[in-house]
Amino acid sequence: MVKKLIKVIISLSLFIVFLVVCFALFAVFSIAGWLHTYKTFTQKELVAVVELEGMQIDEQGYEYTTIKYKPVKDQSALTSIFSSREGDGDQYEETKEYKIYGDQVELGGDFIKFSNALNLFGIKNIYKVSRLEGDFSNPDKAANVEKGKRTVYAINGGTDDYWKFLQENTEDMDFIVDSVYGSYSSKFIRGEKTTYGLYVTEDGFILDDIDKKKD
């Protein structure tokens, strides 16, 4: 009788230990998964430095400015899926200049957002800066802008056919691709020179003040 009681106590003790270990492992993996999810879906990387010269007005009354676009050294889409650009923020490509008509500038491009399941495994969303555009906030100027005053530049070859194909067939590939869309961010052109960082996040592009601590 005593032996049976001891066996029961040992069995219960082992079962309790097993439950505690299982709970601890579950907690560890849950926290690790949460931290990994947080990093994956909120990371912010510098794509380019954008310098806007002060606004000027031509003889016909149209606002314009010169933009200096300095992109961070490129990674291929394949590389950017599996690795981080962090630490390469001081490596830039050749600076390019563009003359933009308008009192605001819009910059962005093509964005492919993978499914959340793939994001959890570290597969990042991919993007390409493909368009720089000037626009007028004044509706009359925007509607009656002269030919040649409407400035749109294709960056990195512009939007490609592969992106268009994915956008048209997203529903058939929803187990891999969550969404395919164009993402753009705009800023008003000030009277003085201003500098912004073009960043990419898990939701798309944003023009923001340069993050000195990180970049």
User: DSSP alpha helices (H): ranges in the chain?
Assistant: 2-42, 77-82, 116-120, 139-144, 161-168
The lowest-confidence range among 33-42, 93-102, 124-133 is 33-42
pLDDT at 157 over 70: yes
Per-residue pLDDT reduced to its tens digit, 25-69 = 665 565 454 334 333 444 788 889 999 998 998 888 888 999 999
pLDDT of residue 98: 95
Whether 46 contacts 71, CB under 8 Å? no
Domain locations in the chain as residue ranges: 1-42, 44-208
Q: What pTM does this model have?
A: 0.70
The lowest-confidence range among 18-27, 35-44, 73-82 is 35-44
CA distance 133 to 104: 9
